[in-house]
Chain A
């Protein structure tokens, strides 16, 4: 265990995680803009190039961007992991992830082989190095239970996701590499059920009861869920038995539904009744996870295998519905806190004489409630219209895209306003 881990000197500087968080809505805007321009064609098939472009704008640019930013903040502070050269490495990682995702999204849209190649070069080494660093760093602190253990397994899943994705993108780049579309299912399974879902299960065990004042998850629930998911993913990957994939999908879908139900049950028992936007986003996300699990479960038992529209429906429920909602809610919890914490840092580090008054706004004043509520409504309505546009004729696609665009613009404005508050007060202090 690392004794220096709690040192404030090791706490990441303000911009280390915040640059990731500010980039999140930009990729939300990009995804919504592609949907708007496309007008709904992409919702016909998961193999549609624009569908793949939007999916990766969301999974890499939004979800991974938010999760990496949060991990960079949490690993040192909450899990006691120290990473040497963290600030500089994080800045590089952010640059590579942003540029690589832009390349990949444009590669899908234009079908240009060089862009796929560039995306592989920018994304694969950076993300694999990051995942390896997390696995090793957590192994070094010798604690593999709780949130740290889940983060380690999630990083391992990220490693496989990126390796598989890198191979698939290489197949788009070079004719010599055969495109094995069957690998896409493994890529998606490790990416969603492994990387995204396992990290959320592990982290929620720690943060939901503490920050949202709910009762704790049942003893060992999250740990068992994580191990079980991991076992299922490994089994599905190593045992290419006919029908195994379908059975694993069904069980995984069931686990999603169970986790969503337990979390919703906890959120309904919050002890503090005060307004909390993160609570709203998490409830919405859990409802979507429950529905997405239900659709997958239903589709797994369908006679001719899952229908294309069921896959698309599950995809919308699980990515924009579940994962985007959770990340969005998390940003509203973590960014105001970081603004406040970093404004108070001189006091915490004992750099000011005792008795000196250092102004910092209250955490709840950093972003006003109304704009956050407005953004939540835009997000929820956009999601609803997107779901409608899957069932009804694509009449609703463009309005859905407009709402999603507006939601992400407002998220960006809200976050920028918080950052601006930090800049004004920290600059004023330097000048004084």
Chain B
């Protein structure tokens, strides 16, 4: 069973794609496109964080009894990522190419190492610990479906 790995991992992939498109738009000074892609990226990323912080993590903490462990680290990394994302957004508004691309690099690298940790450690653990509580995730995470293969 790897419903969590599949669903949340797929969200990483789709946010990466938006990020890459946004960055490419900024590189060619297409600010209108960049602005709309940024909005899309920001909405999806914040929704993904909310899915984790309000549904996945609390369930995980409840089932494993680990409240100060990995989920706490992931939350603090989310806070850092939100701040970087906000800085990119402000720079997109100002059409500040250097700032967008510079902060993007930091955002991207930090995001990737964050994603590796989730996909390599946290999601596999969650898939094990939440085997019997997937229905609760279905109720609380928009679009989440429990799959039996994987």
- Residues in A lying within 8 Å of B, measured CB to CB: 1, 3-8, 77-80, 143, 146-147, 206, 210-211, 213, 271-274, 337, 340-341, 344, 347-350, 362-365
Contact = CB atoms under 8 A, between A and B. Distances in A.
B87 to A, nearest CB: 10
A170 B112 CA distance: 45
B69 A6 contact: yes
Nearest to A270: B20
Contacts of B125: 1, 3
Given A362-B103, A364-B105, 18 more contacts: A3-B66, A3-B125, A4-B69, A77-B113, A77-B117, A78-B120, A79-B121, A211-B109, A211-B112, A213-B20, A272-B24, A274-B23, A274-B105, A337-B109, A362-B102, A363-B109, A364-B102, A364-B106
Contacts, number: 87
B24 to A, nearest CB: 7
A273 B28 CA distance: 12
A78 B116 contact: yes
Nearest to B68: A7
A7 B80 contact: no
Nearest to B118: A6
Nearest to A78: B116
B122 interface: yes
Given A80-B120, A337-B109, A347-B80, A7 B70 contact: yes
Nearest to A365: B102
Given A7-B69, A273-B27, A210 B103 contact: no
26 contacts: A1-B124, A1-B128, A3-B64, A3-B69, A4-B69, A5-B70, A6-B69, A6-B73, A6-B117, A6-B121, A6-B122, A7-B70, A8-B73, A77-B113, A78-B113, A79-B121, A274-B23, A274-B27, A337-B110, A337-B113, A340-B109, A348-B76, A348-B80, A362-B105, A363-B106, A364-B105
Nearest to B103: A362
A87 to B, nearest CB: 19
Nearest to A364: B105
B44 interface: no
Interface of B: 16-17, 20, 23-24, 27, 64, 66, 69-70, 73-74, 76-77, 80, 101-103, 105-106, 108-110, 112-113, 115-117, 120-122, 124-125, 128
- Please list the 10 inter-chain residue pairs (A to B) with the smallest Cβ-Cβ separation, ordered nearest first: A6-B70, A80-B121, A362-B102, A364-B105, A363-B106, A210-B112, A362-B106, A6-B73, A271-B20, A348-B76
B64 to A, nearest CB: 7
A206 B116 CA distance: 8
Contacts of B120: 78-80, 146-147, 206
Query: Main secondary structure on chain B at its contact with chain A?
Result: helix
B93 to A, nearest CB: 18
Nearest to B71: A6
A5 B116 CA distance: 13
A348 B66 contact: no
A80 B122 CA distance: 9
A78 B23 CA distance: 26
A363 B110 CA distance: 9
B70 A3 contact: yes
Contacts of A143: 124
Nearest to B112: A210
Nearest to A211: B112
A210 B120 CA distance: 13
A362 to B, nearest CB: 4
A7 B20 CA distance: 29
B76 A78 contact: no
Contacts of B128: 1
A78 B20 contact: no
Nearest to B116: A78
Contacts of B66: 3
Given A1-B124, A6-B70, A364-B105, A348 B24 contact: no
Contact of A210 (B17, B110, B116, B122): B116
A365 B106 CA distance: 10
Nearest to A271: B20
A3 B61 CA distance: 11
A80 B118 CA distance: 10
A349 B74 CA distance: 11
Contact of A273 (B17, B24, B69, B109): B24
A8 B74 CA distance: 10
Contacts of B113: 77-78, 337
Contacts of A364: 102, 105-106
A274 B110 CA distance: 17
B136 to A, nearest CB: 21
Contacts of B76: 8, 347-350
Nearest to A141: B121
Contacts of B117: 6, 77-78
Nearest to B87: A362
